[in-house]
Structure 1
């Protein structure tokens, strides 16, 4: 959306169904941290290996270390030819994890 376009109202959904438009998250300042991005992440096998090595090093028994390891692995996917993710997806995934953690975990 450009600055010239009026803000959507109601519970409308954008073309990207994961992006809130006019819903309850529209007033959430964190959403601005995950804007649409045209950034390119060229394949970089060395960076992939480096990030995944760090992910293995930090992974321990605690849930926090496992979460950090998973985040690093997802970031490495940005630079992997076969990876299929975006900065927005990573941000939303991390945000979801943090929301669940702040609520005391997933109730089964």
Structure 2
């Protein structure tokens, strides 16, 4: 896709701004209270709209940073959110 065809806020995969992704070496000590709070908020905002479901999913992913059994990193969360936003900018998956 040429630069003229691509929406202004969409970044091709080979040009992902890795410098903007948080440092995945950061430490996130286990914090069950933070996990519980983030997941409660995620449950509260989950609704019928795709936006509320997306924000809820992001909060669950962030809560995994503080869950000793969670398997994610700030970089993974950032890239996932960026991917979601690129898809929305393109008009969705059903386009």
Q: TM-score range by the shorter chain?
A: 0.7 to 0.9
Q: CA RMSD in A?
A: 1.7
**Residue in structure 2 matching 1:105, options 89, 92, 95:** 92
TM-score if structure 1 supplies the norm length?
0.70
Higher relative contact order (CA 8 A, sep 6+): 2
Q: Distance in 2 between matches of 1:79 and 1:57?
A: 19
1:13-70 per-position Cα deviation (integer Å, ceiling 9, x unaligned): xxxxxxxxxx840xx5x43210543211011000000000000011110110000000
The range that moved more, 43-52 or 31-40, is: 31-40
When the two structures are aligned, how many residues end up with a matched partner?
83
What stretches of structure 1 move > 4 A for 4+ residues in a row? none
Unaligned stretches of 5+ residues in structure 1: 1-22
**Residue in structure 1 matching 2:24, options 22, 33, 37:** 37
**Residue in structure 2 matching 1:79, options 44, 66, 84:** 66
Considering fraction of residues, name the structure with more helix. 2
Distance 1:88 1:62, change over 3 A: same
Structure number with greater Rg is 1
Distance 1:35 1:46, change over 3 A: closer
Distance 1:35 1:49, change over 3 A: closer
